[in-house]
Amino acid sequence: MPTNLAIDDALLGEAQRIGGRKTKRETVNQALAEFVQRRKRRELVRLFGTIDYDPAYDYKAARRRR
């Protein structure tokens, strides 16, 4: 899906150099993938401490069953 974007050439060049990518396309795709991954991680971190565990659950007994 071709898309025309007005991207800061200096910023793109720096990202390309730091990321070690040869093309602008690879650089943008890498940046987008990292952006999505970071946002997903942030959502997981937000969930920490929101799960209630069963105090009667015996994880050691579950390990012995394997």
**CA distance to 10, 24, 30, 39, 63, per residue, from 17 (Å):** 11, 10, 12, 24, 48
Q: What is the pLDDT of residues 4-54, one digit of tens each?
A: 989 999 999 999 999 999 999 999 999 999 999 999 999 888 888 787 888
What is the residue type of 12?
L
**Where exactly are the structural domains of the chain?**
9-64
Distance (Å, rounded) from C-alpha 39 to C-alpha 19? 19
pTM here? Answer: 0.65
Place 65 in a pLDDT band, splitting at 50, 70 and 90.
low
pLDDT at 66: 61
Q: Is the Cα dihedral 64, 44, 37, 13 positive or negative?
A: negative
